[in-house]
Chains A and B, each alone.
Chain A
């Protein structure tokens, strides 16, 4: 539940869908397609309504949330000279790009898979503008500049006008504030239309529940034709229940270079979506030796912090930390067993390269209402099913937990581990929440 980035294509599609409601004095063609390979692009060109792919010069670029595509040389706009990219050339270029991994200047590394293709729009630098809106502190801020493209980022302070719009500002006051702050260097003949576009842009950003919306550049052509050359957008996905019809079935891709979720992570995410409780799992290093099964969002963070600290202080590194995640909100015994099974399975797949013991941290703060004995029953069932594998990897288990019924939970898990011949140390609220990490890693 947070702000989620969407593809440029989806952002433009939303503009197009709402254009008449917000930007009625302006025109927008929405000539964009999203494809994953060259063949798909060629097929698209045969569809009705997409004839322009064959008729116009094209621009192609990856649509995978990252910016600075120009600087990364990932915008195809010329073959021999600007504005001569044919359909065939674009398809070929896309196929080249998806054939090999790409490393960005930022260090992000991965294989390109989504591309947006649009007509090449001849225009002059004077026709480019910059506009964006986001929330800063408690207020919305609208940013406008007479200069678009890469120039705006150099010399931001001099070139960009900011309009702070408090949440309770009326539309009349907002319009007044925008008008008063239109950049002085916008040519007189474009001032009025830029102003009305900026006002509509803010209303669109606000009503569509964007968390961030940037067009850079927006190009104002003859006859109030607008070209959205580059767009970056994040939605507030908590508003999803209000916006279901308006947004449609929008996709939230993971950041470029982020490993696609493993089947285990997907299974946990799937279980999470079906449960009233919270189950989260991120694998940080499948070869790591310290695995965690921590109850509660805040506690999972302090355990991760503490493992990093003690690993580094004891000759290890952050790579020792294998996973991050949490279970909370009163999961059922079955859900807990599934979660424990997943983690035990992952941690017993690879022998530790240095031959060190594997460590399983079953941690948690003092629960508000989760029944500790009940959740531990699920973990115990998982131990019973996986004891041999765990012993094979010299798994040492450290438990710390408090909350409803914790005495029984701790007693049960200790008994079960002893019975199964597993190494275990068990602590309650009298021991500091993260002290088991010190105990485990200082040895």
Chain B
């Protein structure tokens, strides 16, 4: 890995830090990345499924996950973890990510992770070949490719400091605040940076100067390096050793801050936790002197650093190590942006032809397309192209539930309303409003309870006991007249279709064992049509590869009822049209069919 990040690098962002993520996406838009640099967000306590962000003038949705594992599973190519957990949890988050695998680098922002944990974390990551940036850092940047969170500051400053496109300098600092400053100095006095890392201010950081500079030595975009060190520690001596050993051959400019410390014997902590000189060799002055002796370009003071950079850059330009860098096209992030009130993820009418989940209507509408109403449902309801066995099943369900005669309460309501002279839509909604837990709702209930029993490994006996405890009759079990001997042919048909076409029907198989127990108690306690539909829908989704949690969500959100609503609307409309055709008069219920029992109201 010669380069830390490329223009294709994608990250999983741990913690929904909206400002920082927005800054990354603004950067992506500015440099015209093809994919957003944040693929997913891990937000353990959020109930939301996505967060909206601006992408230039538009908005995009970045998915939220509860765990790193789930995010990584959904976005296996995102190989950078931006660990924005607090100092209490940052260690656990990193350790989990290293154990999961698939991350090339992990950036840790928390300051003040216990030192022993930081050492363990850094060591574990190093052994696993994972580059850790931090802890206690603002991050790293590969200009023109990928930027972590807040590094570089505002988008205006990024452009001003030429952090929007690759330059020639490899920059390493300890301090995050001074990283920006150095980027600015290098932009003013040279041509910007090719890769930059703020290694972090804590005593134990994952990747140190040498790790990053050895990588930069191999990065062809880096022509020279700037190192801003600090009083304390001996990391700068490793650079000297690497230069002596010929591992670093590119020119290096370096300065250690904290020369002030020599004026104060002890007690004043200048700078970061890592910045405290325990020996003479660790003082800023000693390190600056040693680096100068090793051939590193060391200015006489921090104030002279810009001149040193300018001089080396001029030399490298003169000997043609560095050539003019063309300024790339940029997209401008609009100053004023408005968040969208509505989101649509199923269809789009902005193009030449409206589409259903990406498919033009004409490509699914006519018979020659081979698509049926089941396909349309799968596109608009589930945003997926279901296989034929599944779309055929959906159609079978809708046809099966289309009507059940005029006496059922929904149809009756529709008929009464139609006879009151109301329109088709008014009469239809009257019928539809009847659909609920007692009318049509058994599909939902059956799916929910049978799935719950199956998920929890309840045998039929335990399930019956559980339902008794719940105080409800088992949804989907029982019929007014049908029994095992006199089966409901709709049920027989559905089961036959499933056994011939479904890859497997585990929940139906389970439901049949329950039915065997209930019918042994009473003949008509069979699996009815509502139960069969609900259960087979679960089996369909399982066979299509949905997670159990996604299926639970379908059930919770009332998707099963929706099949009934669409199917039964056909029947309701039939009854309404029937009333209209017959020109039936206003309906009044016969009084002798009502039990009147009206006592005189008491005075209170």
> Hey, which chain A residues are within 8 Å of B331, CB to CB?
none
Given A1-B273, A168-B124, A366 and B157 contact (CB-CB distance below 8 Å): yes
B528 contacts partner chain A, Cβ-Cβ < 8 Å? no
Give the residue among A3, A309, A321 with the most B Cβ atoms within 10 A: A309
User: Roughly how many angstroms separate A360 CA and B153 CA in the complex, as a whole number?
Assistant: 26
> Hey, which chain A residues are within 8 Å of B119, CB to CB?
135, 138, 167
Chain B residue with minimal CB distance to A258? B267
User: Roughly how many angstroms separate A258 CA and B257 CA in the complex, as a whole number?
Assistant: 24
Shortest Cβ gap from B311 to chain A (Å):
15
Give the residue among B119, B177, B230 with the most A Cβ atoms within 10 A: B177
Check if B153 sits within 8 Å of A367, measured CB to CB.
Answer: yes
User: Roughly how many angstroms separate A307 CA and B259 CA in the complex, as a whole number?
Assistant: 11
Shortest Cβ gap from B237 to chain A (Å):
12
Check if A369 sits within 8 Å of B302, measured CB to CB.
Answer: no
Picked from B154, B178, B268, the residue with its CB within 8 Å of the CB of A365 is B178
Chain A residue with minimal CB distance to B122? A138
User: How would you classify the secondary structure of chain A's contact residues: helix, strand, loop or mixed?
Assistant: mixed
Interface size on B, residues (CB 8 A): 63
Check if B175 sits within 8 Å of A2, measured CB to CB.
Answer: no
Residues B299-317 near A (CB distance < 8 A): 301-303, 306
Interface size on A, residues (CB 8 A): 59
Chain B residue with minimal CB distance to A306? B303
> Hey, which chain A residues are within 8 Å of B302, CB to CB?
302, 305-306, 434
> Hey, which chain B residues are within 8 Å of A296, CB to CB?
175, 177-178
> Hey, which chain B residues are within 8 Å of A309, CB to CB?
259, 301, 303
User: Roughly how many angstroms separate A89 CA and B483 CA in the complex, as a whole number?
Assistant: 104
Residues A390-443 near B (CB distance < 8 A): 402-404, 429-430, 432-435, 437-438
Check if B116 sits within 8 Å of A305, measured CB to CB.
Answer: no
B568 contacts partner chain A, Cβ-Cβ < 8 Å? no
Given A282-B268, A296-B177, A366-B157, A241 and B301 contact (CB-CB distance below 8 Å): no
User: Roughly how many angstroms separate A307 CA and B270 CA in the complex, as a whole number?
Assistant: 14
Check if B271 sits within 8 Å of A239, measured CB to CB.
Answer: no
Shortest Cβ gap from B45 to chain A (Å):
19
Check if A328 sits within 8 Å of B267, measured CB to CB.
Answer: no
Shortest Cβ gap from A247 to chain B (Å):
12
A298 contacts partner chain B, Cβ-Cβ < 8 Å? yes
Chain B residue with minimal CB distance to A255? B267
Chain A residue with minimal CB distance to B150? A368
> Hey, which chain B residues are within 8 Å of A167, CB to CB?
116, 119-120, 123
B553 contacts partner chain A, Cβ-Cβ < 8 Å? no
> Hey, which chain A residues are within 8 Å of B175, CB to CB?
296-299, 301
Shortest Cβ gap from B8 to chain A (Å):
25
User: Roughly how many angstroms separate A365 CA and B153 CA in the complex, as a whole number?
Assistant: 11
Check if A206 sits within 8 Å of B120, measured CB to CB.
Answer: no
User: Roughly how many angstroms separate A2 CA and B284 CA in the complex, as a whole number?
Assistant: 19
Given A241-B88, A308-B259, A366-B153, A301 and B275 contact (CB-CB distance below 8 Å): yes
Shortest Cβ gap from A279 to chain B (Å):
15
Check if A306 sits within 8 Å of B301, measured CB to CB.
Answer: yes
A49 contacts partner chain B, Cβ-Cβ < 8 Å? no
User: Roughly how many angstroms separate A305 CA and B301 CA in the complex, as a whole number?
Assistant: 8
User: Roughly how many angstroms separate A206 CA and B204 CA in the complex, as a whole number?
Assistant: 16
> Hey, which chain B residues are within 8 Å of A258, CB to CB?
266-267
Chain A residue with minimal CB distance to B262? A308
Chain A residue with minimal CB distance to B276? A2
User: Roughly how many angstroms separate A351 CA and B180 CA in the complex, as a whole number?
Assistant: 38
Check if B265 sits within 8 Å of A432, measured CB to CB.
Answer: no
Check if A429 sits within 8 Å of B157, measured CB to CB.
Answer: yes
Interfacial residues, chain B to chain A (CB-CB below 8 A): 19, 87-88, 111-117, 119-120, 122-124, 127, 138, 150-154, 157, 160-161, 173-178, 180-181, 184-185, 188, 201, 203-204, 230-231, 257-260, 263-273, 275-276, 284, 301-303, 306
> Which 5 pairs, one residue from A and one from B, show the smallest C-beta to C-beta distance?
A298-B175, A296-B177, A239-B114, A365-B181, A298-B178
Q: A298-B175, A304-B260, A306-B303 are in contact. List 9 more A-B contacts (CB 8 A).
A: A2-B276, A236-B114, A298-B230, A300-B270, A307-B260, A309-B301, A368-B180, A403-B180, A404-B153
